[in-house]
Amino acid sequence: MARKIKQENLKEYLDSIETFNLANIIRKGREVKTKYVKAEKGENGFLTDTIIFKSEDIDKPKQRIWVARETLLCNVTGNCLRNCGGFGECVEGCSKKDEKRAKSGHRCSFRVQLHLYADDMEQWEVTFEGHHVPPTTVWVAPNKNPLKQNEIRKRALTLMKDGITSSKKMKLNLKEDVSQKQLQSFIQYRKKKEKKDGTVMRLSNYSDSSDEESAEEDNLLGIPKNNKQFHPNNTLQIRINPTM
């Protein structure tokens, strides 16, 4: 059954759910009926975005239809159960084991569905589906990269801005439980991103953490970037990871 959660409380609510908060969650994509609504960027990633009517003058739908929806998936790290029956990794002889995108083709079944309906724009309807592991198994959450925490990421970016681009120096400065390897890939990723965007790092980019994580994720999975699709009938669909 769906739970109703006020838009402004969505992140706080999801963060309070351990199976969500401790997992590596990725976005499958958000669909927005741009005929009726628009998304306003939140301060702290996409979960804090606010969906509002485009204007008060628009012809609002008479029936209960969804105007925004989003699916969040577990990236099957930790000891999550895969489709082939393997825990944490594929079983011997799994046909998807060697596929480049096996990871995306072989997720665990845990997911969160978010729906916003036109007749109740205040609250998301949140549904949890599936599970990381069956009830008979204890779920072992993945080791989360500390750089996924906004505060630590912000400090790392500030250090980079101050010219610290060696992982060793950054580790000394950050004083966080983050490995040099994690820092290295973070620094490399940021450098590449800057080069690609052709822009100087801006502090205002910080709030965009979720998209950035997904982009990182996409790189790992070998999925081409800019995987945005514009659909007809006024539906804007951002597919970050089209397969499951």
DSSP string, 218-234: HHHHT--S--EEE-STT
Amino acid of residue 50: T
- Site track for Zn ion across 127-146, x = CB under 5 A: -----x--------------
Question: Which structure tokens are listed for 11?
Answer: 């992140």
How far apart (Å, rounded) are the C-alpha atoms in residues 129 and 3?
A: 12
Query: Binding of Zn ion at residue 84 (CB under 5 A)?
Result: yes
Site for Zn ion (CB under 5 A): which residue of 69, 96, 115, 154?
A: 96
CB atoms within 10 A of CB 96: 15
- The yes or no reply on residue 51 touching Zn ion (CB under 5 A) is no
Task: Give least dist CB 72 to Zn ion, A.
Answer: 11
* Sole window of 9-17, 58-66, 98-106, 187-195 interacting with Zn ion (rule: CB under 5 A): 98-106
Of 94 and 236, nearer to Zn ion (C-beta) is 94
Question: Site size for Zn ion, by CB under 5 A?
Answer: 11
Among positive and negative, which fits the CA dihedral 174, 145, 205, 122? negative
CA distance 185 to 40: 30
Choose which of 22, 39, 52, 94 interacts with Zn ion (CB under 5 A). Answer: 94
Q: Is the distance from CB of 16 to CB of 122 less than 8 angstroms?
A: no
Q: How far is the CB of 66 from Zn ion (least distance, A)?
A: 25
Query: Can you give the binding site for Zn ion, defined by CB under 5 A?
Result: 74, 80, 82, 84, 90, 94, 96, 106, 108, 110, 132
